[in-house]
């Protein structure tokens, strides 16, 4: 992850911003929307930020799930490459959380 110098200031106040580099070396920014606990691990629902103000940017197409692990300094590290079965289990858990929230 890199610094967040290209992220608009209104995102920086309360949001957790995560930066990834794509295959072409471009930085992509995501806001942590929510954390999903599952089987002793923690995952984050990350929503892409349109920092370039691209008219074709679709927020719904720029959503991902990352596994949160602690690095050697105890800081959160976001991992997007993890087994598909694990990803599927997180999606099921997310849907349960959303269903419970709607029922309230």
Owning domain of residue 41: 9-103
Which strand (E) or helix (H) includes residue 29?
A: strand 27-38
Quick check: 68 and 42 in contact, CB under 8 A? yes
Q: Is 4 contained in some domain?
A: no
Is pLDDT above 80 for 1?
A: no
Contact residues for 4 (Cβ-Cβ < 8 A; gap 6+): 12, 17, 19, 29
In the chain, the number of structural domains is 1
In a domain, 73, yes or no: yes
**Is 57 part of a structural domain of the chain?**
yes
Query: Cα–Cα distance between 46 and 44 in angstroms, integer?
Result: 6
Q: What is the pTM of this model?
A: 0.77
Would you call 37 helix, strand, or coil by DSSP? strand
Please check whether residue 2 lies inside any domain of the structure. Answer: no
CA distances from 54 to 10, 44, 91, 92 (A): 18, 24, 28, 31
**pLDDT one-digit tens code per residue, 40-99:** 999 999 998 876 666 665 666 678 899 999 999 999 999 999 999 999 999 999 999 999
Is residue 89 in some structural domain? yes
């Amino acid at each position: 992850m890199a610094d967040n110098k290209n992220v608009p200031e209104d995102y920086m106040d309360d949001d957790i911003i995560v930066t990834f580099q794509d295959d072409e070396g471009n930085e992509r920014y995501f806001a942590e929307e929510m954390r999903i606990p599952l089987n002793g691990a923690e995952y984050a629902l990350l929503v892409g930020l349109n920092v370039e103000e691209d008219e074709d940017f679709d927020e719904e197409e720029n959503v991902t799930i990352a596994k949160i692990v602690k690095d050697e300094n105890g800081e959160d590290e976001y991992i997007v490459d993890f087994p598909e079965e694990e990803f599927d289990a997180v999606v099921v858990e997310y849907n349960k959380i959303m269903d419970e929230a709607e029922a309230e």
